Structure 1
Amino acid sequence: MGVIEEGARKSGILWLSLDRQRLAWHVWHDGAIYLVTGGGEQDLPHLTEAERVRVTLRSKDNGARLVVFEAAVEVVDQAASPEAVAALAKERLNAPDAANLTARWATDSTVVRLTPQEPA
């Protein structure tokens, strides 16, 4: 999965196949992609109910499709995953409430882990 990790580390955005293609910012942490949805953050409808999602990573250099893969979707217990939440908060640009960001996420948002799956 080297190309997935490399692509996810180099680019802070990806595309998710949900109700339509949705652009999302994320962070690569501990072998997976983490992102946050809801509560004033990016709107990613039906992601938290999905078991799997199709992810597209694009090259940061030229925007070309780098890799498309399936990922398992898991809602993260934010209290049990402080390192992942901290990694997300560090990458969150232009947050209107940076000092209270993680507290707001704990009450209003959902953190999701996308684990790349090997082709069946």
Structure 2
Amino acid sequence: MSLPLIEEGARKSSVLWISLDRPRLAWHVWHDGAVYVVTGGGEQHLPGLTEASTVRVTLRSKDNGGELVSFDARVEVVDQAREPEAVAALAKERLNAPDGAETTRRWAADSHVVRLTPIPVP
């Protein structure tokens, strides 16, 4: 699958499906060539994501809900202090955060930010 198609789909959709113990719905942000999600600490529950090395990601059309694109992605837990721009972009997309401006501090203490980098298909 082409990176431009993945990027377009990820930018147009605010949610995606990650195949873990079962397909899990997750909100995300596209930033710098990858999908970023947050899990744990009162955020979305994505069991097994931080231990996985790869996952299958599915983006669906906002218009009809049909599959737009699916791809395999490398999983990497982000050092939040080293990627403040990605964390800020993700926090900006967090709807109804209970702590507003303190969201990123709470994530640093209690959550994992995870980068899902599309794996090119040869």
TM-score tier by shorter-chain length is: over 0.9
Show structure 2 runs of 5+ residues with no match: none
Superposition pairs for residues 68-87 of structure 1, below 5 Å?
A: 68-87=70-89
Q: Give the aligned partner of residue 52 of structure 1.
A: 54
**13, 16, 25: which is aligned to 1:14?**
16
CA-based RMSD? 0.7
SS at match of 2:9: helix
Q: How many residues align?
A: 120
* Identity across the alignment (%): 75
Q: Whole-Å Cα distance in 1 between the matches of residues 112 and 100 of structure 2? A: 17
Cα deviation, 1:10-35, whole Å, max 9, x if unaligned, reads: 00100000000100000000000001
TM-score by length of 2: 0.96
Q: Give the aligned partner of residue 31 of structure 1.
A: 33
Q: Give the aligned partner of residue 43 of structure 1.
A: 45
The runs of at least 4 consecutive aligned structure 1 residues that moved more than 3 Å come to: none
SS at match of 1:8: helix
TM-score by length of 1: 0.98
Q: Give the aligned partner of residue 116 of structure 2.
A: 114
Aligned letter for 2:48? H
Show structure 1 runs of 5+ residues with no match: none
Q: How far 1:88 moved relative to its partner?
A: 0.4
Q: Whole-Å Cα distance in 1 between the matches of residues 118 and 12 of structure 2? A: 16
